[in-house]
Amino acid sequence: MVGLDNGASRTSLDALVARRHLGGVILLGGWTGGSDSVRRTTRHLSSLASAEDTAGLGLLVAADQEGGAVQQLRGDGFSRMPSARVQDQSSPGALTADATRWANQLRTAGINVNLAPVADTVPTSIGRANGPIGQYDRQFSSDPERVSRMVGAFLAGMRAGGVAATVKHFPGIGRITGNTDVTARGITDRTTTVDDPYLEPFRTGIQDGVELVMVGSAIYSRIDPGTNAVFSKPIVTDLLRDRLSYDGVVITDDVGAAKAVAAVPVGERATRFIQAGGDITLTARPSTVPAMHDAITSKMKSNPAFAQQVETAAIRVVDLKLRMGLAHCR
């Protein structure tokens, strides 16, 4: 899944779809021109699906539409969404109704995946010192039980509106201070364990049938010391897939521009994620796609076990697209 910035031409990813067979696009950079403008772009992106370039599979077309500081799509046709902290002030039923309206707006604009809701819990002892979440009021609550209820309510609304949803950023980035997008410092969580209560909102999403789980780039010293979560088999496979019984699509947080993974060679960011048990590599930088694609295909040729992991990942993504109506069995 590759970023398309608001300032880029809507045709700027065409060659990558054709030559590198992209599976999805995320709209980045703040689209403020309203629903009609977004729809013109998504209509073009959807038209790129073909038997030759995408094996007849439609593209996942995504946005970060959480609310508050993180609402990529704005303008006519999109309600101004409050932050998760404000959303938490309503009842779960009211949030489901709101989320249904927001999902309908996304669907009208041609968006079929929302990279939301945030399932992270920020403890009151950290609060706004938490760079990625607390600083921007992106968490529902400091109580994981309350976060679980509101995550479930948000997911119910997305499903009612026909948009696939994503819980993020597994296994939780509420206990770090550094923002993994902009720094590799302060990103080690020294508290979270494999049976931590802060995992409950993610468990709720999984039990509710969430379509995607996004894994973050923080490091968890009590689970897999020194390894970013996106590259960690103990986190992606052992914890998420085995312990929490999640068999759906796993996607990275951005590994194209994020400073947290900048020291890892570009191609390895894709192959190591797949080896950890992941499915969709998300990069905000289209320029990283050739290196990632070449690394995957090269490793498949030399490593049969890795090739099998790629096939397994592809099957999960195709299954999701079938359920979303983006592909059809013949």
pLDDT digits (tens, 9 = 90+) for 277-320: 999 999 999 999 999 999 999 999 999 999 999 999 999 999 99
In whole angstroms, give the CA distance from residue 182 to residue 88: 27
Domains of the chain: 2-323 (3.20.20.300)
In whole angstroms, give the CA distance from residue 281 to residue 26: 12
pLDDT digits (tens, 9 = 90+) for 212-271: 999 999 999 999 999 999 999 999 999 999 999 999 999 999 999 999 999 999 999 999
Q: What percent of the chain is predicted at pLDDT more than 90?
A: 99
Closest CA to 27 of 60, 68, 76, 75: 60
The b-or-e profile of 16-38 (16+ CB within 10 A means b, else e) is bbeebebbbbbbbeebebebebb
Residues across the chain: 330
Query: CA-based diameter of the chain, in Å?
Result: 55
Which band of pLDDT confidence, cut at 50, 70 and 90, is reported for residue 328?
A: low
pLDDT digits (tens, 9 = 90+) for 57-113: 999 999 999 999 999 999 999 999 999 999 999 999 999 999 999 999 999 999 999
Per-residue confidence (pLDDT) for residue 167, from 0 to 100:
98
- The answer to whether the CB of 277 falls within 8 A of the CB of 241 is yes
